[in-house]
Amino acid sequence: MKTKLLQVLALVLVLGNSVYGQQMENTDLLKIIFTHYYKNEKIIVKNRLQLLRFYCKKAPNNEEVLEVISKSDLLKRNDVEIKNQIKSGAEEDWSEEYNALFLNQNQYLKRKVNDCISLEDFKVIADKQQENNLRLMILSKPIYFSHGNYALVKVAFYRTIEHNNGSYILFEKRDGQWIIIDHLNEWAT
């Protein structure tokens, strides 16, 4: 009985550390993506129009990833590991990572991002503002591969009119820091 309890406790600790570690990795990627795409945005102050918004839900990874794999030697070498993460599952959102990113730090960046919103809220804002240059940034759930040394995240920008665009960002972890090494499968309408 005591051995069984110790095994269960060990499993809980391992899974807990894994989940926490994944959240921290996601938070690091989120900061890099925000810094990259919000760098030209102005700080949001009273009565200033916010042109770039952030969508709260993580877009699921789907078969589109297969096309991205086919165009990259690195991804081809890790295709089994990547394909295992293409699953439709429970909906996830970015709220934990978002809150961790802005908890007592990165306040300048937060003033540019403000809050994450739903698609419905974005449509209400777009209808009210009647601006053609409002964009909603949508991020997929990160795919980690090659022993956690690489990550792949889809970034898409939705507008209520045409001119949507996006790509997959390929990250590499070097000296404990994530860096963007490539933009794959770029598209625009």
> For 70-86, how does the pLDDT look when each residue is reduced to its tens digit (9 = 90+)?
999 999 999 999 999 99
Mean predicted lDDT score pLDDT of the chain: 84
Handedness of CA 43, 125, 133, 163 (dihedral sign): positive
Which is higher by pLDDT, 38 or 50?
38
Please give the Cα distance from 35 to 172 (Å, whole number).
17
> For 102-144, how does the pLDDT look when each residue is reduced to its tens digit (9 = 90+)?
987 888 888 888 788 999 998 888 888 877 778 899 999 999 9
Q: What percent of the chain has pLDDT over 70?
A: 85
Please give the Cα distance from 117 to 54 (Å, whole number).
6
Residue with tokens 């898409």: 156
The listed range with the strongest mean pLDDT (9-23, 29-43, 62-76) is 62-76
Please give the Cα distance from 184 to 170 (Å, whole number).
7
Q: How confident is the model at residue 105, as a pLDDT?
A: 84
How large is the average pLDDT for residues 162-181? 94
Please give the Cα distance from 74 to 184 (Å, whole number).
12
Q: What is the DSSP string of 131-173?
A: -TT-EEEEEBPPEEETTTTEEEEEEEEE-SSS--EEEEEEEEE
Q: How confident is the model at residue 138, as a pLDDT?
A: 95
Residues 6+ away with beta carbon under 8 Å from 96: 23
Q: How confident is the model at residue 16, as a pLDDT?
A: 38
Going by pLDDT thresholds of 50, 70 and 90, the confidence category of residue 17 is very low
Going by pLDDT thresholds of 50, 70 and 90, the confidence category of residue 1 is low
Contacts 24+ apart (CB under 8 A), 173-180: 173/148, 173/149, 177/28, 178/25, 178/28, 178/29, 178/32, 178/151, 179/32, 180/32, 180/36
- CA distances to 80, 119, 140, 171 from 56, rounded to whole Å, are 29, 9, 11, 21
Which is higher by pLDDT, 157 or 18?
157
Q: How confident is the model at residue 8, as a pLDDT?
A: 38
